[in-house]
Amino acid sequence: MAAQTPELVPLASDTAPVDVATTHASTEAAHGEGGGLPQFEFQHWFGQIVYLIFLFAILYWLIARVFTPRMRRVFDERETTISTAVATARQVQAEAAGQAEAAKAEVEKARADSRAASVAAKARVTDEANRRAAEEEAVVNARIAEAEIAIGKTRDAAMANVATIAADTASAIVERLTGKAPSAAEATAAVKGAV
Amino acid sequence: MADPLHQFQIVPLVDFGTVTLPVIGEQQLAFTNSHLAMTVAFGVVVLFLQVVTAGAKVVPGRWQSAGETMFGMIDGIVDSIIGHDGRKLFPFVFTVFTFILAMNFIGLFLTFTATSQIAVTATFGVLTILLVLAIGFAKHGLGFFKLFVPSGVPWPVLPFVIVIEFVSFLLRPVTLTLRLFGNMMGGHVALKVFAGFVVVGVGGSVGLGLGIPIALLSMGMTVGLTALEFLVAFLQAFVFAVLTCIYLNDVVNLGHGH
């Protein structure tokens, strides 16, 4: 790019006289000092500067009074909206957390209740079983006692029979040995003494 | 080949005649192509901002989004460079930015670039520096001159530093003016030169065997440079706005910091 610049100047000065001579004669004459850059034709400066300051002042006024406040309002509004939304979200979250806590407590309570119920049921069932077992046992014991009594009776009867048989046997033996049967009372007394 | 400087010629469209003013001499009063370009740029900015802010909603549409990006960008640099006091100065910086940006862009679409006129860029530069001076004297009175006396400089070198600071302050409007002017003018001259080569190439004066490749290459350059010029158009408006902020910051926050 730097190589281009030097040849621009001769180009400009080369063409300038041609322009003056031919097409742009009138404008070049009006430009007076002419020659170099068109930007240095000072007779156009005043008009441009005044007009630019005029436009700048209007634009500044519009931006300062109209556009900037509008933008700031939107920014502020957005900030408010966002912070409100965030606050709401936080609140909702807190509520949800509270509800979750409550639900958890409820579940915990239900679990405890069911546990207690199961324990109670188990106790009740155990009691029932124990009671039934005791009843059965009582019945069985009663039967055992009955049976024992019956056995005792049977044994006594048997024993009585044994004594009678023994007395009979003894009297029979005595009769065979002596030829003379002892009296029943004697036999019985003798057996009783032996048994 | 066409004169690449012809595009910068001021052409009166409606002539109001000439007047001779006291100090500045003879002036031509006319509505020129420069005035037209400025007016179009002004109109585009106002229209754009009107469209952007008129039905501004919390959830922005396309146009509002574009405007908000621009607004937010300038708001960001004003806020980050000047600080909280910068809010009051935002409209000025935003006006400078949008107006220059519009002029730069209009220059890429139409035949005349207002910001390639040194009268226009000088007006922006001087306006900025006048605002700096006004704020400086209004806020600090004669304390404004402390701007040229940086703190923490050993006294033997202080006089030199003061001279350097003073001269650099005086050069601020000049550099503001010339940077914008030079960039815009240089870019448009380069564009015109390469575009001229295209015409020369296909014109046949150098023979079509050489002319067509020249024309093609130059066309490529012109397209590339046009893209570059769009970047420059934005960048120069942005740089102008940033420097405006920096110069304003010097006087707004004079004495604290640096």
**Average pLDDT rounded to a whole number, residues A82-103:** 95
Nearest to B149 by CA among B141, B158, B140: B158
- Which chain B residues touch A39 with a CB distance below 8 Å? 8, 116-119, 181, 185
| Shared-domain flag, residues A90 and A148 | yes
Is residue A122 located within the same domain as residue A176? no
Which residues are CB-neighbours of B31 under 8 A, at least 6 positions away?
A: B12, B13, B14, B16
Q: Which domain holds residue A170?
A: 164-194
d(CA B210, CA B204): 9
Chain A residues interacting with chain B (CB cutoff of 8 angstroms):
1, 4-5, 8, 11-12, 15-16, 19, 27, 30, 37-49, 51-53, 55-56, 58-60, 62-64, 66-68, 70-71, 73-74, 77-78, 81
Residue B182 to residues A57, A125, B42, B119, B223, Cα–Cα distance (Å):
25, 104, 22, 12, 21
More confident position, B104 or A184:
B104
Q: What is the mean pLDDT of residues B47-63?
A: 85
Using an 8 Å CB-CB cutoff, list chain B residues near A54.
none
Asked whether residue A4 is domain-assigned, the answer is no
Q: Is residue A177 part of a domain?
A: yes
Residue B41 maps to a domain: yes
Same domain (yes/no): A145, A169? no
B150 lies in which domain range?
A: 6-53+62-254
Least confident of A11-20, B81-90, B158-167: A11-20
Average pLDDT, chain B: 89
Same domain as A122, residue A81: yes
Residue A19 lies in a domain: no
Kindly determine whether residue A43 and residue B18, on different chains, have CB atoms separated by under 8 Å: yes
Same domain, residue pair A116 and A176: no
Distance, CA of A173 to CA of A190 (rounded, Å): 13
- Measured at the CA of B236, the angle between CA B233 and CA B240, to 5 degrees, comes to 140
> For residue B1, which residues of chain A lie inside 8 Å, CB to CB?
11
Q: Are B226 and B187 in contact (CB under 8 A)?
A: no
Would you say residue A33 lies in a domain? no
Are A49 and A144 in the same domain? yes
Angle formed at CA A73 by CA A88 and CA A53, multiple of 5 degrees: 160
pLDDT digits over A53-84, tens only? 999 999 999 999 999 999 888 889 888 999 99
DSSP classification of residue A180: S
Residue A20 scores a pLDDT above 70: no
A92 and A145: one domain? yes
Quick check: A63 and B49 CB within 8 A? yes
Q: Among all residues of chain A, which has the CA nearest to that of B121?
A: A49
Q: Which residues of B touch A51 (CB under 8 A)?
A: 35, 38
pLDDT value at A166 more than 90: no
| Interface contact B53-A66, CB threshold 8 A | yes
Average pLDDT over residues A17-44: 53
Separation of alpha carbons B236 and B240, rounded Å: 6
Query: Which of A163-172, B201-210, B239-248 shows the highest mean pLDDT?
Result: B239-248
Confidence of residue B10 (pLDDT cuts 50, 70, 90): confident
Q: Which residues of B touch A2 (CB under 8 A)?
A: none
- Residue A64 is classified by DSSP as I
In a domain, B1, yes or no: no
Note whether A68 contacts B90, CB cutoff 8 Å: yes
Please list every residue in chain A whose beta carbon sits closer than 8 Å to the beta carbon of residue B118: 39-40
Residues of A with CB below 8 A from B11's CB?
27
**Residue at B78 is within a domain:** yes
Say yes or no: A105 and A172 in one domain: no
Shortest CA distance from B94: residue in chain A = A63
A42: chain B residues, CB-CB within 8 Å: 24-25
A140 and A177, same domain (yes or no): no
Tell me the range of A2-16, A34-48, B14-28, B188-202 where mean pLDDT is highest: B188-202
Mean pLDDT, rounded, for B156-171: 91
Q: Identify the closest residue of chain B to A47 by CA–CA distance.
A: B29
Q: In this predicted structure, which of A67-81, B66-80, B139-153 has the lowest mean pLDDT?
A: B139-153
Pairing of the two strands B25-32 and B12-21: antiparallel
Using CB atoms, which residue from A59, A70, A73 is nearest to B42? A59
A130 plus A58 within the same structural domain: yes
Same domain, A59 and A146: yes
Residue B58: which of A38, A59, A77 has the nearest Cβ?
A77
Give yes or no for residue A15 having a pLDDT over 60.
no
Q: Contact B94/A30, CB-based, under 8 Å?
A: no
How distant is the alpha carbon of residue B105 from its chain centre? 11
Residue B70 domain flag: yes
- If one counts the domains in chain B, the total is 1
Lowest mean pLDDT among A11-20, B86-95, B99-108, B227-236: A11-20
The rounded radius of gyration (Å) of the Cα atoms in chain A is 69
Domain count, chain A: 2
- Cβ contact (<8 Å) for A38 and B98? no
Same domain, A136 and A180: no
Between chains, do A56 and B123 touch, taking CB under 8 Å as contact? yes
In a domain, B31, yes or no: yes
